[in-house]
Amino acid sequence: MDPASVAVRVAFDGMLEAMETRRREWPSDDDEYAARLTKREADLRRMTRRLQDGDLTQWEIAADNAIERRGLEFVKGSAEYAVFVRAIAEASIDAVGLFNRKHSGELDAAPRSATVLDAKAKEAEKAKPGETILDLFEAWGAEMIAKSGKNGQRGKRSDTVNQDRKVILQFATFVGRDRAVDSITPLDVAEYRDTLRDLPPKWMSKRELRDLDMRTAATKARAAVMPHTAFTTINKHLSTISPLYRWLRKKPRWAGMANPVDGLFYDDVKGTNPRPPFTTDDLNTILGSPLFTGFQAEGKEHLPGNEQTRDWCYWIPLVAMFTGARIGEVAQLRIGDVRQEHGVWFVHIRHDKDAGLATKSGQSRPAAVHALLEAIGFLEFRAQQVERAGGDLDAALFPKLTPNARGQISGTPSRWWRDYLAAIGVKDPSVEGGDGFGSHSFRHTLADRLRDEAELLDTEIAVCLGHSIKSTTSGYGRLTQGTVRKFKGWMDAVTFEGVELDHLRVDG
């Protein structure tokens, strides 16, 4: 709720209407009529003087009455309250001035104050029913979800759309939820971008900011010298808003509409390698850490001790390291997804909406079980899970993992792994925007070693890692590119030279 707009409705529109009602009851005598106008002019001078002197007492009383009468949520002493009082003062002075001019002969008298003019402009910019930013986003999101996973179409998963909705909701609240989409200008978007920059990451979760609007929170964050939201995060926000406008421009209703996001992205802020691979030293630090050698207790896996685990927190990073699979692809595995074909053990990374399984590419693929992954006991772990599940191969390989509030099975292990890397000193949490290290770094590590140790071409590496390849022949036929035996040869050619693994081996 914009306090200035509410103030204009209360103190300009309401006051004008009340003055006009009372004017109709004035005496018909010309002299008395003129005397009443003279009194209004004196009122105007008195009100103007008080405002210029900073005496807002009469308008604070009016504001308090309006808040109580209308059930408004402007808290006395807050920044919103101060804006409301000031706007009531300016709007009421403008109302009296317009009334005096109109009834002194200026028949087309119009408001003059910036407060009233801005509020009236915003009123004229209101969206038609069903055409607010949020309404249009829902239509766009439904189309994106419908396209998701269909060959040749660029869509979005429902979870991604849900995350986009949070950005659009914050943006709409900032510019006005009822604003017409074509009234939003580059200046509006730039103000949103700059305000977001002044806020700390995840600002709405901070106790001292969460109950404030964005502008007020940014002012408080600046005063407290809080950390800034990263440029990359701001660009992600802009990358969420911009596609909505590109989509709308294809509709006859908004054909030719300018995209207010164009030209407002921060340049050269992503860095040359936002997802860096782990070095050999990093891998040795990870594999030599308490999780893999003995830790203190659950929740204290980063501290040395005598506890051991062979649960998901142990196996998921190892499977990611030796297959290059994404953490969500590993976390969702069923027991039967680890199986043999032509004598070769492989992990079937599946995209199956009916089963609740998903890959980023929307395609299923095999990943050969590396000889070293066998050597450290992964197949024995799989056999134990078969026994636990009573032979049910559709049972989860990691049964203790459950989807988070966003429906993502990867939520818990992703967060846990980032925290663990920070706890053992591999990840630096103080870097603005993050240093990029996480489970995805295993994927980049394997890509580098496939290139170096297995001497694969980038197109072959892409097949190993499940990247989409745009070529004429890639769309021919039904078989997945590569065979399990070929993958096995490629993967086993990666020796992980320099990485200490002997303490993990169970094959003697």
pLDDT at residue 300 above 50? Answer: yes
Same domain, 157 and 32: no
- Considering the domain boundaries, does residue 269 fall inside one? no
How does DSSP classify residue 37?
H
Same domain, 207 and 227: yes
Residue-wise pLDDT tens digits, 27-85:
888 899 999 999 999 999 999 999 999 999 999 999 999 999 888 888 898 988 999 99
State the pTM of this model: 0.53
* 182: nearest Cα among 223, 132, 147: 132
Same domain, 456 and 357: yes
pLDDT at residue 274 above 80? Answer: no
- What is the band of 214 on the pLDDT scale with cuts at 50, 70, 90? very high
Same domain, 315 and 171: no
- Range of the structural domain that residue 391 is part of: 280-504
How does DSSP classify residue 288?
T
- Considering the domain boundaries, does residue 481 fall inside one? yes
DSSP string for 347-364: EEE--BGGGTB--TTS--
Domains of the chain: total: 3
- Of 104, 124, 144, the last residue of a domain is 124
Whole-angstrom distance, CA of residue 494 vs CA of residue 28? 101
Q: Give the torsion sign (CA, 497, 500, 505, 507).
A: positive
- Considering the domain boundaries, does residue 285 fall inside one? yes
- What is the band of 193 on the pLDDT scale with cuts at 50, 70, 90? very high
Same domain, 85 and 137: no
Same domain, 98 and 147: no
Same domain, 108 and 146: no
- Considering the domain boundaries, does residue 75 fall inside one? yes
Same domain, 148 and 107: no
pLDDT at residue 220 above 50? Answer: yes
Radius of gyration of the chain (CA): 32
Residue-wise pLDDT tens digits, 223-263:
999 989 888 889 999 999 999 999 999 899 998 899 999 99
**pLDDT value for 219:** 92
pLDDT at residue 508 above 70? Answer: no
Same domain, 15 and 45: yes
Same domain, 345 and 449: yes
- Of 124, 158, 189, the last residue of a domain is 124
Same domain, 291 and 421: yes
Q: What percent of the chain has pLDDT over 70?
A: 92
Residue-wise pLDDT tens digits, 342-368:
888 999 988 887 777 777 777 788 888
pLDDT at residue 433 above 80? Answer: no
293 in Cβ contact with 304 (< 8 Å): yes
Tokens (6 digits) for 35: 């005397």
- What is the band of 431 on the pLDDT scale with cuts at 50, 70, 90? low
The whole-number average pLDDT for the span 400-427 is 87
* CATH, residue 462: 1.10.443
Same domain, 467 and 492: yes
Strand partners, 346: 339, 368
- Considering the domain boundaries, does residue 362 fall inside one? yes
The whole-number average pLDDT for the span 429-453 is 78
